[in-house]
Structure 1
Amino acid sequence: MTALLTRLTLQTIKIESNYVGRCLGKHTVQKPAPAQLPLTASTPKLVYLIFTKDFSTVDNQDERKKKRKDVFTNVGRKISERIIRVLDEKGNDLGLMHRANVIKLMDKQDLRLVQRNASAEPPEYQLMTGAQIHQERLKIRELEKAKPQTGPTVTKELTFSSNIGQHDLDTKSKQIQQWIEKKYKVQVTIKKGKNADEPENKIGEVFNQILQSMPGIATFLSKPQAVRGGRAFTCVFRHLNKKEDKAHRDSQETQERHTLNKDNRSDKESDVLHQ
């Protein structure tokens, strides 16, 4: 009996030892060893390349040089060429001058120096006052604004019913005018009202009223036409081109002269009757 108990006790201890060993072995396998970390955890080369490009001294210098060429500005005393052609503030040619003499002339007359033609040989510069430089910059800005816009023209769309009230129509006409002034095209769609007694030409009158609210600004790109099986009409407004704008202004001036002459004749006839 004692031998049986001893055997059972040893067997129990052996089973528990094996269980503890398996548990410890399981945890040991699941825990990642430092030597097994993936080698791809190193710093990506792309980040390093982007960093060096953004903070490159050469790139920054190139950007500054490009900016200086594009901006009408005073070069100061930093004249890179030894001999240059100089114009005075009135545009008169002073001939070829050494940069040291140009600096002396600038100091004596309190003028600035601006590069006019870098491709000339030798390069051409002009002496100018600060006010002249400011005026030239304003001219450059106006020319930039006058350049035609690149890219596709934006088209705005507006839809409403022919039963629209006058106040709401005035509001929408102002919105259309704002878009037209920004050189947008505006497509307007007017749906027929549900009133059976509505005149057929009412929608056409609404389109004309919108156009008349923008004299000298807009015209029809496409005339009103029926859509949706005749249940609505649509048209596109656009800004006047230069030729149309000039024709409109000439017409206005002719009309004003005609009105003025008519008033003068009326005044003369009135004076004769009073005599």
Structure 2
Amino acid sequence: MADKDLRINEQIRVREVRLISDDGEQQGIVPTLEALRMAKEQGLDLVEVAPNANPPVCKILNYGKFKFENEKKVRDSKKKQKLLKIKEIRMQPKIDDHDLDFKSKHIREFLAEGNKVKVTVRFRGRELAHTELGLDVLKDVLQRIEGEYVMDKPPSMEGRFMSMVLSPKSKK
């Protein structure tokens, strides 16, 4: 629920509202002016919490505190999110064995960090006629990092590139 679309006090322009008091007790359907008066008497605000209901649901509460609590919830939920990065490893179909070992080591490290890895083979010029060489390279990479990945997207051609996407095995 975004705070921007919540209306408070005089912004509420309906004849009557379903009122909830500051202690969470249902007050029933009350004229808006009466609900506003009750909120002012308690030194609190009238906040529309469910504008799509018929009639809209309003609650008597301290709006500043309510807004702060909502922002705090949003911040906490953002802290719990894990940002997933996609790392890309590029190579050519005529890659040397040692270079392939080196790149495989990097792929293993990226997966261990919890990142997804896009392994790409770039074809230049006449190499495009031999895409099976690129497929062999990708299969070779999979053999070298055996058991440490889950394949999200199998090897496929995208223009001059053949790529596949791997993600780390979930730790249970």
Which residue of the partner structure matches residue 220 of structure 1? 151
Question: 1:179·1:186 contact (CA, 8 Å) conserved in 2?
Answer: no
Q: Retained in 1: the 8 A contact 2:19–2:30?
A: yes
Equivalent residue, structure 2, for 1:170: 106
- Distance change >3 Å, CA 224–CA 202, structure 1 → 2: same
Contact between 2:118 and 2:163, CA under 8 Å: does it hold in 1? no
- Aligned mate of 2:53, from 105, 109, 120: 120
| DSSP-derived class of the 1:163 partner | helix
Cα displacement (A) at 1:86: 0.9
Q: What's the RMSD between the two structures over aligned residues?
A: 4.7
Higher RCO structure (Cα 8 Å, ≥6 apart): 2
Aligned to 2:144: 206
The structure in which a higher percent of residues are helix is 1
Q: Could you list the per-position Cα deviations for residues 120-174 of structure 1 after superposition, in whole angstroms to 9, with x for gaps in the alignment?
A: 332221223333333335657859xx9xxxxxxxx87522344236599438843
Deviations 1:56-75 (A, max 9, x none): xxxxxxxxxxxxx9834351
Larger relative strand fraction: 2
- CA shift digits 1:1-23 (9 cap, x unpaired): xxxxxxxxxxxxxxxxxxxxxxx
In the alignment, which residue of structure 2 is the partner of 1:104? Answer: 37
Percent of aligned positions with the same letter in both sequences? 14
User: What is the CA–CA distance in structure 1 between the aligned matches of 2:163 and 2:16, rounded to whole Å?
Assistant: 67
Residue 15 of structure 2 corresponds to which residue in structure 1?
A: 82
Q: Which residue does the alignment assign to 1:198?
A: none
| Bigger radius of gyration | 1
Contact 1:81 1:99 in 2 (8 A): yes
1:132 equivalent in alignment to 2:66: yes
Indicate how the Cα distance of structure 1 residues 121 and 236 shifts in structure 2: closer, same or farther if over 3 A, else same: closer
Change in 2 beyond 3 A, CA 1:207/1:98: same
Runs of at least 5 residues in structure 1 that lack an aligned partner in the other structure: 1-68, 147-154, 191-200, 213-217, 228-232, 241-247, 253-275
**TM-score (normalizing by structure 1):** 0.36
Match of 2:89 in 1: 158
Would you say how many aligned residue pairs link Structure 1 and Structure 2?
Answer: 138
* Distance across 2 between alignment mates of 1:235 and 1:207: 14
Q: Quote the offset at 1:104 in angstroms.
A: 2.9
SS of 1:104's equivalent? helix
**Aligned partner of residue 121 in structure 1, secondary structure:** coil
* Separation of aligned partners in 1, 2:140 and 2:168: 24
C-alpha distance in 1, partners of 2:3/2:26? 24
* C-alpha distance in 2 between matches for 1:222 and 1:84: 52
Listed as ranges, the gaps of 5+ residues in structure 2 are 123-138
Q: Residue in 1 aligned with 2:165?
A: 236
